[in-house]
Chain A
């Protein structure tokens, strides 16, 4: 229970459904702030109090569990490492993968609980054989199946999302108000919870440091200087400060960040279009494509199958084909595509999930997660290691 409206309603619904429920608030920071400012920050003392008030109203016990050490190791340090490696991580996914449905779930199982129930907008659906599948929420506008795409069958077996069938957030807020929760109209939280003022660039600079380096065009010519490569994200337009326009007068975008050489590559918008994405760290949310009868086995991986790919929490899903194939070592010769050291040991580096969108994807950065859907169902995901531009360098 974060202290927000969704988890409060989820807890109340779980109680109504007859479950024996205990409210748990995660303390994720050793130095929590006292008060929220707007929608920013997380696990402040105020949030904890809000969660406790809701738990008291529902009539369930309430505890605060401290996962600040694990959160620092698995989410915050990973976030820094990924940026250092020139990648764009999604810390919310990491938190679901490593904290909510790993550290928390395991502790809960050890303490005698059966499941972790959260206020995420997604559905866990049991197939005919009792196998769990992850599906999009009824409320498409709030659908959070993307950030849960990292969950495995084992984790889904112990996950409950009571808001998955609710058609809209308004309905959840109305229910919260009807139940008398003081958080019914509390603003949604967004941004990164551990960067309380929202200044990701400044926050990273303090931790990663900033060395000036070259801004290059696609042909490799130096056209400017940046104050530190880590502050740049693929697809970014603002803050390049090159000082003179491109020869064709069109805006320039960040195409690539090369942390090893501290270089930032820029170019026209269409050069952001990506025709292929691939990643070696992939997982299936339940049965994989072969066991699900969606794809044939091939070369120890699986052959191409039709799907939709989504590359950000609220991006449009794009029709694509996906497959799992042995890697071509030549694709990973470039250091910038290497898996950051913190995750090397988790990954079977000899296979990759390869996704070919039917139309080019715009602004895809290594480190982002590509989630693969078949209809409403989340089939799996990969963390993107490499991309291939739709437009070759001339």
Chain B
């Protein structure tokens, strides 16, 4: 039996969400069609929009359904940049998700943007003094500020209120990537002062391929996709079934019997204590308190994260190194490097992320299996760095 501790990668779809999804897939009709069947599809879609909006403290008109977090982030960053032309500067926190990093670098390369990377501290929190300084210098030329609500690797929560307040002094819109935070911490879009916010359905038990960009009434973006204007800022036939399933997952967030972040936090705190007792030199990364309730992230000195991941996988535990992969090749995390962790230590990273169904027993099994895996990964790490065969 495999224990799934990688909910930050994707969270399994609960049965009731799956049932809603399957039922909605059977509906005939394009929501843009005028006939009765089209109208029923449109009703399914708009009900879903209301539910998703409600789960984020937003109005339905502020919800633009997308194909997922990556599209949402691309639309927010590129769309705000274009809409705010001729302003050229984009302020991006360091250690962001690759959807943000790559979008910003693309704007720099292709559209002549000037990207300014705002440093983060050793816990992964944005340096507000540096942000204030960057905003003050050439404020008139800043198109947007973008940052994570919570870091997807180390789980650190960002001071969104302070960032928005700083940016508001200069009238600069802020986009927040809340893909990792959604469902785990309360998000109230309308009181946040954010111009835009990205979320994804599959991180909360909805289907992959559905997400949303929340776009405040006052913000405007240039569209990425053209061809029909089915939604504000996005063209393309709308996915009523995907939206319905997204809404079903969002509805669960409001029921603490199904979805209880406080319970997750208690389990996670126990996990951190147990891991540190079992492997005394494990280093907790990210902020000790201001972090997502389901996230525990460690580096294990002398280990390669991929060896550790392999051994734990063989022992029946699905975990992650947390960092981006290309064709399955793990790289030292740019988040940890931006936090000032040396590369040799960053390579020994392991991210354990809990979900609503994670049990105390599962975590206890994990903690029992961990020390042997760490010891073996350490031996493999030494072999990797200084092989003695073939010398």
The interface of chain A, by Cβ under 8 A from chain B, is 25, 27, 32, 45, 48-49, 52, 61, 63-68, 70, 97-98, 101-103, 105-107, 109-112, 150, 152, 154-155, 346
Q: Which residues of B contact A25 (CB under 8 A)?
A: 328
Q: Which residues of B contact A106 (CB under 8 A)?
A: 380, 383-384, 387-389
Q: Is the CB of B387 within 8 A of A110?
A: no
Q: 25 interchain pairs (CB within 8 A)?
A: A27-B327, A27-B328, A32-B326, A32-B327, A48-B327, A48-B328, A49-B327, A52-B328, A63-B328, A64-B325, A64-B327, A64-B329, A68-B329, A70-B384, A97-B390, A101-B390, A102-B389, A102-B391, A103-B387, A106-B383, A106-B387, A110-B383, A111-B311, A111-B377, A346-B391
Q: Is the CB of B376 within 8 A of A111?
A: yes
| B77–chain A nearest beta-carbon distance, Å | 24
Q: Is the CB of A103 within 8 A of B383?
A: yes
Q: Is the CB of A110 within 8 A of B389?
A: no
Q: Which residues of B contact A154 (CB under 8 A)?
A: 389
- In the assembled complex, the Cα of A315 lies from the Cα of B61 at a distance in Å of 73
Listed residue (A65, A97, A101) with the most chain B CB atoms within 10 angstroms of its CB? A65
If A102-B390, A106-B388, A155-B390 touch, whether A111 touches B328 (CB-CB below 8 Å) is no
Q: Is the CB of A109 within 8 A of B390?
A: no
Q: Is the CB of B389 within 8 A of A107?
A: no
Q: Is the CB of B389 within 8 A of A101?
A: yes
State whether the Cβ of B190 lies closer than 8 Å to any Cβ in chain A: no
| B350–chain A nearest beta-carbon distance, Å | 15
State whether the Cβ of B32 lies closer than 8 Å to any Cβ in chain A: no
Q: Which residues of A contact B269 (CB under 8 A)?
A: none
Residue pairs across A and B with CB atoms within 8 Å: the count is 79
Within 8 A of A (CB), among B273-324: 306-307, 310-311, 313-314
| B114–chain A nearest beta-carbon distance, Å | 26
Q: Which residues of B contact A70 (CB under 8 A)?
A: 384, 387
State whether the Cβ of B258 lies closer than 8 Å to any Cβ in chain A: no
Q: Is the CB of A107 within 8 A of B307?
A: yes
State whether the Cβ of B60 lies closer than 8 Å to any Cβ in chain A: no
Q: Is the CB of A110 within 8 A of B376?
A: yes
Listed residue (B314, B325, B329, B391) with the most chain A CB atoms within 10 angstroms of its CB? B329
Name the residue of chain A whose CB is nearest to the CB of B380.
A110
Q: Which residues of A contact B379 (CB under 8 A)?
A: 110
Q: Which residues of A contact B331 (CB under 8 A)?
A: 66
Q: Is the CB of B330 within 8 A of A66?
A: yes
Q: Is the CB of A155 within 8 A of B310?
A: no
Name the residue of chain A whose CB is nearest to the CB of B379.
A110
Q: Which residues of B contact A52 (CB under 8 A)?
A: 328
Counting from the closest, the 8 A-B pairs by CB-CB distance are A102-B390, A64-B328, A110-B380, A106-B383, A102-B389, A48-B327, A45-B327, A27-B329
Q: Is the CB of B310 within 8 A of A63?
A: yes
| B112–chain A nearest beta-carbon distance, Å | 25
Q: Which of A32, A48, A101, A109 contacts B383 (CB 8 A)?
A: A109
Q: Is the CB of B313 within 8 A of A61?
A: yes
- In the assembled complex, the Cα of A155 lies from the Cα of B389 at a distance in Å of 7
Q: Is the CB of B387 within 8 A of A66?
A: no
- In the assembled complex, the Cα of A43 lies from the Cα of B383 at a distance in Å of 22
Name the residue of chain B whose CB is nearest to the CB of A29.
B329
The interface of chain B, by Cβ under 8 A from chain A, is 306-307, 310-311, 313-314, 325-331, 376-377, 379-380, 382-384, 387-391
Beyond A45-B326, A66-B306, 15 additional contacts (C-beta under 8 Å) are A25-B328, A32-B326, A48-B328, A63-B328, A64-B325, A64-B328, A66-B330, A98-B387, A102-B387, A107-B307, A110-B307, A110-B379, A111-B311, A152-B390, A346-B391
Q: Is the CB of A107 within 8 A of B391?
A: no
If A61-B313, A97-B390 touch, whether A111 touches B307 (CB-CB below 8 Å) is yes
If A107-B307, A155-B390 touch, whether A66 touches B380 (CB-CB below 8 Å) is no
If A101-B390, A154-B389, A155-B390 touch, whether A107 touches B384 (CB-CB below 8 Å) is yes
| B3–chain A nearest beta-carbon distance, Å | 16
Q: Which residues of B contact A107 (CB under 8 A)?
A: 307, 380, 383-384
Q: Which residues of A contact B306 (CB under 8 A)?
A: 63, 65-66
Listed residue (B314, B379, B387) with the most chain A CB atoms within 10 angstroms of its CB? B387
Q: Is the CB of A111 within 8 A of B380?
A: yes
Q: Which residues of A contact B307 (CB under 8 A)?
A: 107, 110-111
| B157–chain A nearest beta-carbon distance, Å | 31
Listed residue (B311, B330, B383, B391) with the most chain A CB atoms within 10 angstroms of its CB? B383
Q: Is the CB of B384 within 8 A of A103?
A: yes
- In the assembled complex, the Cα of A97 lies from the Cα of B314 at a distance in Å of 28
Q: Which residues of B contact A346 (CB under 8 A)?
A: 391
- In the assembled complex, the Cα of A61 lies from the Cα of B313 at a distance in Å of 9
Q: Which residues of A contact B388 (CB under 8 A)?
A: 106
Q: Is the CB of B376 within 8 A of A112?
A: yes
- In the assembled complex, the Cα of A107 lies from the Cα of B377 at a distance in Å of 9
Q: Which residues of B contact A150 (CB under 8 A)?
A: 390
Q: Which residues of B contact A111 (CB under 8 A)?
A: 307, 310-311, 376-377, 380
- In the assembled complex, the Cα of A22 lies from the Cα of B328 at a distance in Å of 15
Q: Which residues of A contact B391 (CB under 8 A)?
A: 102, 346
Name the residue of chain B whose CB is nearest to the CB of A112.
B376
Name the residue of chain B whose CB is nearest to the CB of A48.
B327
- In the assembled complex, the Cα of A63 lies from the Cα of B326 at a distance in Å of 12
Name the residue of chain A whose CB is nearest to the CB of B378.
A110
- In the assembled complex, the Cα of A102 lies from the Cα of B325 at a distance in Å of 25
- In the assembled complex, the Cα of A84 lies from the Cα of B90 at a distance in Å of 46
Q: Which residues of A contact B327 (CB under 8 A)?
A: 27, 32, 45, 48-49, 64
Q: Which residues of A contact B377 (CB under 8 A)?
A: 111
Q: Which residues of B contact A27 (CB under 8 A)?
A: 327-329
Listed residue (B327, B377, B390) with the most chain A CB atoms within 10 angstroms of its CB? B390
Q: Which residues of A contact B326 (CB under 8 A)?
A: 32, 45
Name the residue of chain B whose CB is nearest to the CB of A34.
B327
Q: Which residues of A contact B330 (CB under 8 A)?
A: 66
Listed residue (A63, A102, A106) with the most chain B CB atoms within 10 angstroms of its CB? A106
Name the residue of chain A whose CB is nearest to the CB of B325.
A64
- In the assembled complex, the Cα of A155 lies from the Cα of B330 at a distance in Å of 27
- In the assembled complex, the Cα of A299 lies from the Cα of B204 at a distance in Å of 75
- In the assembled complex, the Cα of A86 lies from the Cα of B325 at a distance in Å of 39
| A67–chain B nearest beta-carbon distance, Å | 8
- In the assembled complex, the Cα of A69 lies from the Cα of B383 at a distance in Å of 13
Q: Is the CB of A105 within 8 A of B389?
A: yes
Name the residue of chain B whose CB is nearest to the CB of A283.
B390
| B328–chain A nearest beta-carbon distance, Å | 3
Q: Which residues of B contact A110 (CB under 8 A)?
A: 307, 376, 379-380, 382-383
Listed residue (A25, A32, A107) with the most chain B CB atoms within 10 angstroms of its CB? A107
| A344–chain B nearest beta-carbon distance, Å | 13
